[in-house]
Amino acid sequence: MFYPAGLPHKQELAYAAGKLTSIEINGTYYGTQKPESFARWHDETPDDFVFALKGPRYTTNRRELAGAGPSIERFLASGVLELRDKLGPINWQFMPTKAFDAKDFEAFLRLLPTSMGGRALRHALEVRHDSFRTPAFIELARAHGVAIVFAGDSDYPQIDTPTAPFVYARLMGTTDDQPDGYGRAALDRWAKRLRGWQDDGLDVFCYVISGAKVRNPAAAMALLQRLARPARRKK
């Protein structure tokens, strides 16, 4: 169990923020949040904490993405800027049945603003259909400066090509039989990979999701511990 027994629900965010450096908000995918909620999340977390947000499913789960403009505008006007400097990337997640259509995806990317209210916005695309395993999709994402979510340890397309100044990784392979979700060797490999992206000058946002969910916080903390250690130099 991640939270101490008896911890009031209203104190859970502050507790989690003391153990982690970033959280991906899943609730924004399922419904509109209130500006007051974003403001409260800002106030209850440390100064250097960052929130990633999932874009609403009503935006991405449509036949023609070119018509998503009003939905994008409603989401961005719902109060996300109340997070201020703690606003991280926005993850636009697509259903596994959504295939790559270059023309439609380009129209969608043109709808994503790069800034709002004087604050830069960062976008990531989480695609789950095999048709996205094509250089055309990578070049399209790069042209618009959006990241492609790296779906680690999953059956989804694992596109390990940076297309933006940041990397957005979601690790999905934790198991119940490992106290830290992953074994020591696997955690070491992931930490090495994350550090490699950092060494390439990229901001890295990594979230442990799916898999054995009860183990995910432990996996995230284990990775943070490894990344906090100085890298070993080869002799």
Residue 210: pLDDT band by 50, 70, 90 thresholds?
A: confident
> Rounded to a whole number, what is the largest CA-CA distance in the chain?
57
Residue 39 lies in a domain: yes
Residue 184: what pLDDT? 98
Judge whether 87 and 52 are in contact, CB under 8 Å. Answer: no
Residue 87 pLDDT more than 70? Answer: yes
Residue 11: what pLDDT? 96
Angle, CA of 226, 125 and 30, to the nearest 5°: 95
Half-sphere exposure of 88 (CA within 13 A, CB side): 25
Work out the percent of the chain whose per-residue pLDDT is above 70.
Answer: 97
Residue 231: pLDDT band by 50, 70, 90 thresholds?
A: low
Residue 137 lies in a domain: yes
Residue 232: pLDDT band by 50, 70, 90 thresholds?
A: low
Nearest CA among 102, 205, 89 for reference residue 146 = 89
- How high is the mean pLDDT of the chain? 96
Residue 119 lies in a domain: yes
Q: 141-168 pLDDT, tens per residue?
A: 999 999 999 999 999 999 999 999 999 9
Task: Assign residue 217 the CATH number of its domain.
Answer: 3.20.20.410
Residue 134 lies in a domain: yes
Judge whether 82 and 39 are in contact, CB under 8 Å. Answer: yes
Task: List all residues 6 or more positions away from 228 whose beta carbon is below 8 Å from its beta carbon.
Answer: none
Nearest CA among 193, 190, 196 for reference residue 208 = 190
Residue 55: what pLDDT? 98
Mean pLDDT of 21-32: 97
| E strand or H helix that includes residue 22 | strand 22-25
Residue 74 lies in a domain: yes
Q: How many domains does the chain have?
A: 1
Mean pLDDT of 46-74: 97
Domain range for 83 is: 9-228
Can you spell out the DSSP letters for 79-97?
Answer: SGGGGGGGEEEEEEE--TT
β 115-116/119-120 pair status = antiparallel
pTM given for the model: 0.94
Tokens found for residue 104:
């439609």
Tokens found for residue 26:
């899943």
Residue 1 lies in a domain: no
Residue with tokens 């695609």: 127
Residue 216 lies in a domain: yes
Residue 104 pLDDT more than 70? Answer: yes
Residue 233 pLDDT more than 70? Answer: no
How many whole angstroms separate alpha carbon 206 and alpha carbon 208? 7
Residue 235 pLDDT more than 60? Answer: no
Q: How far is CA 38 from CA 50, 84, 147, 157, in A?
A: 12, 9, 24, 32
Q: 32-45 pLDDT, tens per residue?
A: 999 999 999 999 99
Judge whether 70 and 59 are in contact, CB under 8 Å. Answer: no
DSSP state of 66: G
Residue 138 lies in a domain: yes
